[in-house]
């Protein structure tokens, strides 16, 4: 990539982040609510409350990002954040089932919201959290190798998830965190607000990094040095902030 392109990407990303930090809302919770509103419906009926304050994300989306957090920590500890291979076929089937459960619970939950009656069973915050965790785990173990394969020049030829024992470990940790969140301990509001603020920006930043790389043919052979990804990733976060702002504007316009 040409130095001028790097400077443009860096300037755009830093400018977008600076604007986000300087413009209202100015308080930390307000920032987290703003980001969360761009990626989540935030229905009070589907959300948890901590000390009388609604969590930035609904219960299901909270579970999603808890699952992504668990996978990120697991891969960091196992030094697999640069892995490029998907889990083996048997585990892919299980992960696909996780997504199916998340989808079924989501459809059933919204059926109750819109029609007053669920399709299959009465939804609960516990199920929203757990199915969200299942979906987040799946996203993490599939997205990381996909991202590395597209963006990096020499990703590690390792699987993001190698066996069922590792899956069970991540599942237990994720469900444990979901159980802790379900207590609705008021102190948890701010850690969850941080997760709701940082999680969507990192995920959107990573997705937009892929899109920017492919759309403008940046690093055709892939990024070789870790530091080279910084301008592209910051620009991806900048695009993510524009996407979130646009979605918030649309919601305000149509009154959602």
Q: Could you read off the pLDDT of 46-56 as tens digits, one per residue? A: 999 999 999 99
Q: Which residue, chain included where needed, has tokens 């697999």?
A: 80
Bridge partner residues of 85 (DSSP): 159
pLDDT on residue 24? 92
Contact 65, 57 (CB under 8 A): yes
Q: Which 3 state secondary structure label does DSSP give 66?
A: helix
pLDDT band of residue 224 (cuts 50, 70, 90) is confident
Dist CA 233 CA 50 (whole Å): 33
User: To the nearest whole number, what is the mean pLDDT of the chain?
Assistant: 94
| Percent of the chain at pLDDT exceeding 70 | 99
Q: Of 235, 227, 180, whose CA–CA distance to 209 is shortest?
A: 235
Q: What is the pLDDT of residue 26?
A: 92
Q: Where are the beta strands (DSSP E) in the chain?
A: 49-50, 53-54, 83-85, 156-159
Domain ranges of the chain: 67-186
Res 33 pLDDT > 70: yes
Helix (H) or strand (E) holding 18: helix 3-22
How confident is residue 163, by pLDDT bands cut at 50, 70 and 90? very high
pLDDT of residue 251: 84
């Amino acid at each position: 990539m040409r130095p001028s392109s790097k400077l443009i990407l860096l300037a755009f990303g830093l400018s977008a982040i600076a604007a986000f930090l300087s413009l209202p809302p100015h308080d930390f919770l307000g920032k987290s609510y703003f980001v969360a509103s761009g990626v989540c419906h935030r229905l009070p009926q589907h959300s948890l409350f901590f000390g009388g304050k609604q969590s930035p994300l609904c219960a299901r989306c909270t579970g999603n990002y808890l699952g992504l957090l668990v996978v990120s920590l697991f891969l960091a500890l196992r030094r697999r954040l640069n892995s490029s291979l998907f889990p083996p076929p048997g585990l892919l089937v299980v992960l696909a089932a996780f997504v199916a459960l998340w989808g079924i619970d989501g459809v059933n939950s919204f059926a109750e919201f819109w029609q007053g009656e669920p399709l299959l069973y009465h939804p609960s915050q516990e199920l929203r959290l757990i199915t969200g965790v299942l979906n987040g785990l799946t996203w993490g173990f599939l997205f990381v190798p996909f991202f590395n394969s597209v963006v990096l020049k020499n990703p590690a030829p390792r699987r993001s998830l190698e066996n069922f024992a590792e899956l069970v470990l991540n599942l237990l940790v994720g469900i444990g965190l979901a159980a802790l969140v379900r207590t609705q301990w008021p102190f948890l509001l701010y850690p969850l607000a941080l997760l709701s603020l940082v999680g969507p920006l990192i995920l959107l930043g990573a997705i937009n990094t892929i899109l920017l790389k492919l759309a403008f043919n940046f690093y055709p052979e892939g990024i070789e040095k870790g530091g080279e990804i910084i301008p592209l990733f910051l620009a991806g976060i900048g695009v993510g902030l524009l996407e979130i702002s646009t979605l918030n504007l649309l919601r305000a316009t149509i009154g959602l």
